[in-house]
Structure 1
Amino acid sequence: MLTFHKKKAMEICNGKKRRKVSGGVRVCRRSVAGKMKREVGKVLRSLTVEDNNHKEPMEEEEDDHCFSIGYLRNDRLEPSLVVSPRYNLLREVGRGSYGVVFEAIARKTGARVAVKRLQCDAPENVELALAEFWALTSLENRHQNVVQLEECVLQRKGLAQKMSHGNKKSRQYLRLVETSLKGERILGYPEEPCYLWFVMEFCEGGDLNQYILSRRPDPQTNRSFMRQLTSAVAFLHKNNIVHRDLKPDNILISQKSGSPVLKVADFGLSKVCAGLNTKNCEDHPIAGEDGKGSNQNNIVNINKFWLSSACGSDFYMAPEVWEGHYTAKADIFALGIIIWAMIERITFIDAESKRELLGTYIRQGTEIVPVGEALLENPKMVLHIPQRARSSMSEGVKKLLHDMLAVNPQDRPDAFQLEVRMDQVTCAA
Structure 2
Amino acid sequence: MKRDVGKVLRSRTVEDNNHTEPMEEDEDDDCFSISFLRSDRLEPAVVVSPRYNLLREVGRGSYGVVYEAIARKTGARVAVKRLQCDAPENVELALAEFWALTSLENRHQNVVQLEECVLQRNGLAQKMSHGNKRSRQYLRLVETSLKGERILGNPEEPCYLWFVMEFCEGGDLNQYILSRRPDPQTNRSFMRQLTSAVAFLHKNNIVHRDLKPDNILISQKSGSPVLKVADFGLSKVCAGLNSKNSEDLPEAEACGKGSNQNNIVNVNKFWLSSACGSDFYMAPEVWEGHYTAKADIFALGIIIWAMIERITFIDAESKRELLGTYIRQGTEIVPVGEALLENPKMVLHIPQKARSSMSDGVKKLLQDMLAVNPQDRPDAFQLEKGPLSFPALFTTWT
* Deviations 1:239-282, CA, capped at 9 Å, x for gaps: 00000000000000000000000000000000000012699961
C-alpha contact 2:298 2:370 (8 A) present in aligned 1 = yes
- Residue aligned with 1:62, SS: coil
Distance 1:369 1:137 in 2: 36
C-alpha contact 1:45 1:69 (8 A) present in aligned 2 = no
Report how far residue 40 of structure 1 moved.
40
Structure 1's 235 and 322: CA in aligned 2 closer, same or farther, altered over 3 A? same
Structure 1's 428 and 158: CA in aligned 2 closer, same or farther, altered over 3 A? same
C-alpha contact 1:46 1:69 (8 A) present in aligned 2 = no
Q: CA RMSD in A?
A: 9.1
C-alpha contact 1:150 1:199 (8 A) present in aligned 2 = yes
Structure 1's 179 and 378: CA in aligned 2 closer, same or farther, altered over 3 A? same
Structure 1's 242 and 82: CA in aligned 2 closer, same or farther, altered over 3 A? closer
* Deviations 1:86-129, CA, capped at 9 Å, x for gaps: 11110000000100000000000000000000000111110000
- Residue aligned with 2:191, SS: helix
Considering only CA atoms, is the larger Rg found in Structure 1 or Structure 2? 1
Of the three residues 290, 308, 314, the one matched with 1:349 is 314
C-alpha contact 1:113 1:199 (8 A) present in aligned 2 = yes
* Deviations 1:348-376, CA, capped at 9 Å, x for gaps: 01111111000000011211000000000
Structure 1's 158 and 281: CA in aligned 2 closer, same or farther, altered over 3 A? farther
Moved more, 294-303 or 114-123: 294-303
Report how far residue 71 of structure 1 moved.
3.6
- The count of corresponding residues between Structure 1 and Structure 2 is 388
Structure 1's 247 and 78: CA in aligned 2 closer, same or farther, altered over 3 A? closer
User: What's 1:129 paired with?
Assistant: 94
* Deviations 1:152-172, CA, capped at 9 Å, x for gaps: 000000010000010000000
* Deviations 1:3-45, CA, capped at 9 Å, x for gaps: xxxxxxxxxxxxxxxxxxxxxxxxxxxxxxxxx9999999999
Report how far residue 189 of structure 1 moved.
3.0
Report how far residue 134 of structure 1 moved.
0.2
Distance 2:349 2:10 in 1: 54
- Residue aligned with 2:56, SS: strand
C-alpha contact 1:46 1:84 (8 A) present in aligned 2 = no
User: What's 2:286 paired with?
Assistant: 321
Report how far residue 143 of structure 1 moved.
0.2
- Residue aligned with 1:228, SS: helix
C-alpha contact 1:42 1:73 (8 A) present in aligned 2 = no
Report how far residue 190 of structure 1 moved.
2.6
Q: Which has the higher contact order (CA 8 A, sep 6+)?
A: 1
Structure 1's 357 and 82: CA in aligned 2 closer, same or farther, altered over 3 A? closer
Moved more, 285-294 or 201-210: 285-294
TM-score, normalising length: structure 2: 0.84
Distance 1:239 1:325 in 2: 21
Structure 1's 159 and 367: CA in aligned 2 closer, same or farther, altered over 3 A? same
- Residue aligned with 1:191, SS: coil
User: What's 1:191 paired with?
Assistant: 156
- Residue aligned with 2:190, SS: helix
Report how far residue 299 of structure 1 moved.
2.2
TM-score, normalising length: structure 1: 0.78
Structure 1's 155 and 395: CA in aligned 2 closer, same or farther, altered over 3 A? same
Report how far residue 391 of structure 1 moved.
1.0
C-alpha contact 1:44 1:85 (8 A) present in aligned 2 = no
Report how far residue 62 of structure 1 moved.
11
C-alpha contact 1:44 1:70 (8 A) present in aligned 2 = no
Distance 1:95 1:54 in 2: 12
Distance 2:373 2:65 in 1: 37
Structure 1's 193 and 213: CA in aligned 2 closer, same or farther, altered over 3 A? same
Report how far residue 404 of structure 1 moved.
0.1
Report how far residue 77 of structure 1 moved.
16
Report how far residue 68 of structure 1 moved.
3.3
Report how far residue 301 of structure 1 moved.
1.2
Distance 1:292 1:396 in 2: 38
Moved more, 292-301 or 363-372: 292-301
Structure 1's 231 and 64: CA in aligned 2 closer, same or farther, altered over 3 A? same
C-alpha contact 2:208 2:296 (8 A) present in aligned 1 = yes
Report how far residue 69 of structure 1 moved.
3.2
Q: What's the % identity of the aligned pairs?
A: 93
C-alpha contact 2:3 2:332 (8 A) present in aligned 1 = no
Structure 2: tracts of 5 or more residues without a match: 385-394
C-alpha contact 1:254 1:263 (8 A) present in aligned 2 = yes
Report how far residue 389 of structure 1 moved.
1.7
Moved more, 299-308 or 324-333: 299-308
- Residue aligned with 1:368, SS: strand
* Deviations 1:332-360, CA, capped at 9 Å, x for gaps: 00000000000000000111111100000
